[in-house]
Amino acid sequence: QKEVEQNSGPLSVPEGAIASLNCTYSDRGSQSFFWYRQYSGKSPELIMFIYSNGDKEDGRFTAQLNKASQYVSLLIRDSQPSDSATYLCAVNGGTYKYIFGTGTRLKVLA
């Protein structure tokens, strides 16, 4: 089992819909959780981070964390074609180590 798992996709949603991206992790001691967006050929760009159980909203993005179930999700409201990218989930267990998932490819259809 990988330490951080994501469905590789592609996840296709119509423009204006809500895109829901999920991530599960294996280390119960993980303390901080991050979502990055990566366009093809570019470097990862931080979208959101979350440390506590519950929801955290920033504009069209909402991160949701459930430590008991060991999953973190990212919701993108009013999806736009420009949101089409690979979304990386990263988890930190309080050490130097940031573990990245393989990413979910999102396609927003105009």
Partner 1 sequence: EADIYQTPRYLVIGTGKKITLECSQTMGHDKMYWYQQDPGMELHLIHYSYGVNSTEKGDLSSESTVSRIRTEHFPLTLESARPSHTSQYLCASRKQGDSPLHFGNGTRLTVT
In the complex, which residues of this chain contact partner 1 (CB under 8 A)?
Answer: 31-32, 34, 41-46, 49, 51, 88, 90, 92, 94, 96-98, 100-103
Question: Which of 90, 78, 92 shows the shortest CA–CA distance to 23?
Answer: 90
Kindly tell me which of 19 and 48 has the beta carbon lying closer to partner 1. Answer: 48
Kindly tell me which of 49 and 71 has the beta carbon lying closer to partner 1. Answer: 49
Q: What is the DSSP string of 1-32?
A: --SEE-----EEEETTSPEEEEEEES-TT--E
Kindly tell me which of 45 and 57 has the beta carbon lying closer to partner 1. Answer: 45
Cα 52 from Cα 49, distance rounded (Å)? 10
Q: What sign for the dihedral angle of Cα 1, 65, 15, 108?
A: negative
**Minimal distance in Å, beta carbon 4 to partner 1?**
9
Cα 93 from Cα 58, distance rounded (Å)? 24
**Minimal distance in Å, beta carbon 77 to partner 1?**
22
**Minimal distance in Å, beta carbon 19 to partner 1?**
19
Kindly tell me which of 4 and 13 has the beta carbon lying closer to partner 1. Answer: 4
